[in-house]
Structure 1
């Protein structure tokens, strides 16, 4: 045995070893006629102006994009009333969250988040070497803010708050959020994941007051949901200039493509079209909620583009019934089922599944 063979490389990240790759064992449709309502995607084609932008930018795939996505960053700052120095862009909100966590936490640190939640949170925290601390939601699907505060220790570096929450769709009222932030130690970053905020009638995306009042707050957003650009992977965040500067250093070079940047900038100018689409999704959400209730189920009121059924141990059985009806939903075993707002045909199949589920 040579010395090289005897000395094996050690990849020492015990936190990361606890997890599988993201959704590596997740369910996928196994037939072309299965309608997928498991990913919270917008079931609408790109806006006409965005489609035209994609056609033009698609002719430039032989060229590298701007590694700093400066055109997008400048337009985001102008559109929302931020400073460019307060703006971070990256490959989806998940990518931007990874950038943020890499500069906020490391080995020996802790990051708190509500659970169940976005299932990438534990993995993204573990990549940094930090330990994720899941805090159970309340019985009504809300963040347990007093418990989150009670779990803060000298090792806590960040708290992730998702509002509207994935998977329950519950929002944190602004006054309640401010009370929490006022009680949070300033040394602990509060990452407010607002991936679904455009679907919430109570929120104004142009209100960046939180990062002005609290320098430890980050507002994390995406073009994947309301803007319907999930396949292009464009996310962004607003934060203090200090946090934003560090987060920009951790971005994977060229991770925001030219097509994604152009489509995102074009999307920002489609205010009226976006408003009509949001109204359409909200109407379908309300109809789905009402129809499930009429069947005898008890969905939780949602401010996002999905509906949550708190079915506990019966969650997997409902998901199986949905698959037999030709639709894929997301089961959080032991907690509930998340159903994305889709098409009227997809909702019809969900109601067929609900009828079968309740008949047993």
Structure 2
């Protein structure tokens, strides 16, 4: 039997030990750990999905050409500047497979999206983790210092997962201008609609200004299509052409393609939904601050508490109350914006614990 790729030796399959309905022996009633939208898909989109069910016996278009054209039109790009795939994580894997190999490096901030280490390892490259600042921001100066001749990709996430912070456009511009030509920057904007209150059409400004940048987006978060797995990348033609070659055949289902196209045409419905999420996020933030907990200002559909070594015990306390949240051991906890009842249950449990022993 041949040996597994060496970069995979020290990584685990994505959340392989996680249970969907229990956490540390506690029965989970509310899951606020995955940044899922608690609302169903947009009404127009849901109707379109139901209409497409009879065609499930047929393979989808392997190139998802209709969706590719729709996204390109939405962004005012050409079709050959867009690649689609099974969620932004799937598209990121395509990008890394296309650009990286043995001996290469990928630089990203940490803590970050917990799939980054696995996806980098699958590509054969080595990950270079750069700690966030104390305010939960990217340390762009340090990231630039860690870029070397072996660096092929830098991943930036804005709004950042898990802290919800946003990279200042001027600082981003200066950083991208400082990178050598052999480095491609992937700007992961999975949560960008929550920051902007919508998904305005037109090319992302960063693509106009920087030719070695790829913007990564998803329909899983703001549009509520996490279960259908569809995302996309927009960037330079030569990069996108290679990224398309690493795609899994038929990776975007017909239902996902149709739902994503309808989502882009439902701006009014989306804005209403994002306003509701923003209001719920501020209410959750206010409730946590009333308990004197350190909550960072967030521009996404989750909040971050930099609890350092108390992160895991905090998550266990939430699980005991039936609420699952995401702990980043040694760093903090991320709490997704959810139902009002879930927020009330969590805050009440934390309040009781705080009154007994203190949370920190």
TM over 0.5, yes or no?
Answer: yes
Q: Which structure 2 residues correspond to residues 205-354 of structure 1 after superposition, within 5 A?
A: 205=200, 206-354=202-350
Bigger CA drift: 201-210 or 330-339? 201-210
CA contact (8 A) 2:198 2:271 kept: no
Task: Extract structure 1 runs of 4+ deviating beyond 6 A.
Answer: none
Match among 188, 198, 215 for residue 193 of structure 1: 188
Equivalent residue of 1:55, what SS?
helix
Report what 2:73 is aligned to. 78
Match among 151, 157, 178 for residue 183 of structure 1: 178
Bigger CA drift: 107-116 or 195-204? 195-204
CA distance in 2 between partners of 1:346 and 1:47 (Å): 22
Bigger CA drift: 12-21 or 252-261? 12-21
CA contact (8 A) 1:319 1:331 kept: yes
CA contact (8 A) 1:317 1:357 kept: no
> Cα deviation per residue 1:268-295 (whole Å; 9 max; x = unaligned)?
1110000000000001111111111011
2:137 counterpart of 1:146: no
1:202 offset after TM fit, Å? 8.1
Report what 2:58 is aligned to. 63
CA distance in 2 between partners of 1:193 and 1:109 (Å): 20
CA distance in 2 between partners of 1:161 and 1:247 (Å): 18
Q: TM-score, normalised by structure 2?
A: 0.95
> Cα deviation per residue 1:296-326 (whole Å; 9 max; x = unaligned)?
1110000110000111111111111111222
Q: TM-score, normalised by structure 1?
A: 0.95
The size of the alignment, in residue pairs, is 352
CA distance in 2 between partners of 1:107 and 1:331 (Å): 31
1:357 offset after TM fit, Å? 3.7
> Cα deviation per residue 1:234-274 (whole Å; 9 max; x = unaligned)?
00010100000110111000010000000000111110000
CA distance in 2 between partners of 1:47 and 1:226 (Å): 10
Q: Which runs of 5+ in 2 are unaligned?
A: none
2:351 counterpart of 1:355: yes
2:137 counterpart of 1:137: no
Q: Which runs of 5+ in 1 are unaligned?
A: 1-8
2:100 counterpart of 1:105: yes
CA RMSD of aligned residues (A): 1.4
2:165 counterpart of 1:165: no
CA contact (8 A) 1:164 1:172 kept: yes
1:201 offset after TM fit, Å? 3.1
CA distance in 1 between partners of 2:27 and 2:79 (Å): 44
1:175 offset after TM fit, Å? 1.0
1:12 offset after TM fit, Å? 4.5
> Cα deviation per residue 1:202-236 (whole Å; 9 max; x = unaligned)?
89653422122211100000000000000000000
